[in-house]
Amino acid sequence: MRKRAAIIGAGVSGLTCGVVLAEHEWNVTILADETGEQTTSGAAAAVWFPYDAEPVDKVIPWSLITYERLRDLARDSQSGVSMVELRQFTRAGEIAIPDWAKNLGAYSISVVPSENASPARTEGSLTIPAFPTTFTSGYALTVPLIDATIYLDYLAKRLRTAGGRIQSAHISKVDEIPRDFDVIINCSGIGARDLVHDSDLEAHRGQVAIVPKIDLAQAIICNDAPLMYAIPRAHDCVFGGTNSISENREPSSADTTAIVSECSRVLGIDPPPVIAMKVGLRPFRKIRRAPRVGKIRRRPHHHSQLRPRRCRLHSLVGLRRRSEGDCLTRKPRTLIAL
């Protein structure tokens, strides 16, 4: 008989776990109160790049596994995953190329002041037409780019094809989930704070502006303040972004103006019209802790009485990079948090 898994959350984590389990003969039900573009996953830019995720010594190996999975997916034209050249810049001094990036073929690129450069963009360098001093150095590497508007639907379709299903439901307590599930996987993102009282999670609010497709061959990123990125997609371009500790999921027009203004300034273009504004809450864990699996004891109903043990399911996860969390089990069920 097929084992049954309940997954809380239909973001990239929940869908990825669902696909992996359903394609391994599990009977999978995803329970989620938001799906698709409503989720934080739907707001993501989304390029593969280790950013705002800890602990670094664990995140890098996890990310490299994800890199390989996404590179494989890029061969499927339906997936919404492609490979793109990413150009990472700094506004001050020489940028250090991390070892993991060197191993992926990263190379330094020079930043050429516009008055000294012709034509405007040259091989191995980026000219910044209007503001030549914006960046001081950078490096380039090829990474997976995930178009969330396609990828989430692609995962949902794969899940359904493998027999899985997605149900609209808000789960207030894990105990609400029927007992006949063998495993419960918590992929609720920032929702885990309420769902399992995971107070270590911090909401890192991010906002992006979607603008019409522009002629941009590379993804341009600068993580120095003000955070700036321009990510070309098949049908549009994502301008970012913000990263602040906040729970506010309402788009801010002041943020949008600042984002579009900085991206346009860097790219040397007139500010394009904004098609949409998107906000998501990145689930950031404040303390260093390994992902856990624990048992829910029969008597108590409080998750504070869980006894965790380590879990390695993080390697199944696709886009997301905060691949750690609490995991609970109530024999014979297991709750695994991602």
Ligand X SMILES: Cc1cc2nc3c(=O)[nH]c(=O)nc-3n(C[C@H](O)[C@H](O)[C@H](O)COP(=O)(O)OP(=O)(O)OC[C@H]3O[C@@H](n4cnc5c(N)ncnc54)[C@H](O)[C@@H]3O)c2cc1C
Residue 7: is it exposed, middle or buried by C-beta count within 10 angstroms (0-12/13-18/19+)? buried
| Alpha helices for 33-175 (secondary structure H) | 40-43, 56-73, 99-103, 148-161
The residue among 84 and 187 lying less far from ligand X, judged by its C-beta, is 187
Say which residues have a Cβ less than 8 Å from residue 61's Cβ, sequence separation at least 6: none
Element (H, E) at 253: helix 253-267
In this chain, which of 2, 3, 24, 170 binds ligand X, going by CB under 6 A? 170
The residue range among 108-116, 124-132, 165-173, 290-298 that interacts with ligand X, by the rule CB under 6 A, is: 165-173
Q: Which amino acid is at 99?
A: D
CA-to-CA distance for 323 and 337, rounded, in angstroms? 9
The residue range among 18-26, 102-110, 286-294, 317-325 that interacts with ligand X, by the rule CB under 6 A, is: 317-325
CA-to-CA distance for 101 and 194, rounded, in angstroms? 36
The least CB distance from residue 138 to ligand X, in Å, is: 17
Using rule CB under 6 A, residue 202 touches ligand X = no
The residue among 207 and 334 lying less far from ligand X, judged by its C-beta, is 207
The residue range among 26-34, 112-120, 132-140, 210-218 that interacts with ligand X, by the rule CB under 6 A, is: 26-34
The least CB distance from residue 205 to ligand X, in Å, is: 7
Using rule CB under 6 A, residue 285 touches ligand X = no
Footprint (CB under 6 A) of ligand X, residues 213-242: 241
In this chain, which of 101, 319, 327, 336 binds ligand X, going by CB under 6 A? 319
Using rule CB under 6 A, residue 189 touches ligand X = yes
Give Cα separations from 189 to 89, 203, 226, 322 (angstroms).
29, 9, 25, 9
Residue 287: is it exposed, middle or buried by C-beta count within 10 angstroms (0-12/13-18/19+)? exposed
Using rule CB under 6 A, residue 46 touches ligand X = yes
CA-to-CA distance for 46 and 43, rounded, in angstroms? 8
In this chain, which of 44, 166, 210, 211 binds ligand X, going by CB under 6 A? 44
The residue range among 74-82, 115-123, 183-191, 260-268 that interacts with ligand X, by the rule CB under 6 A, is: 183-191
User: How remote is the C-alpha of 134 from its chain's centroid?
Assistant: 27
Using rule CB under 6 A, residue 12 touches ligand X = yes
The residue among 63 and 264 lying less far from ligand X, judged by its C-beta, is 63
Q: For the chain, first and last CA: distance in Å? A: 26
In this chain, which of 292, 321, 330, 333 binds ligand X, going by CB under 6 A? 321
Q: Which amino acid is at 58?
A: K
Using rule CB under 6 A, residue 10 touches ligand X = yes
The residue ranges that bind ligand X (CB under 6 A) are: 8-14, 31-35, 39-41, 43-47, 169-171, 187-189, 191, 195, 206-208, 241, 280, 282, 319-322
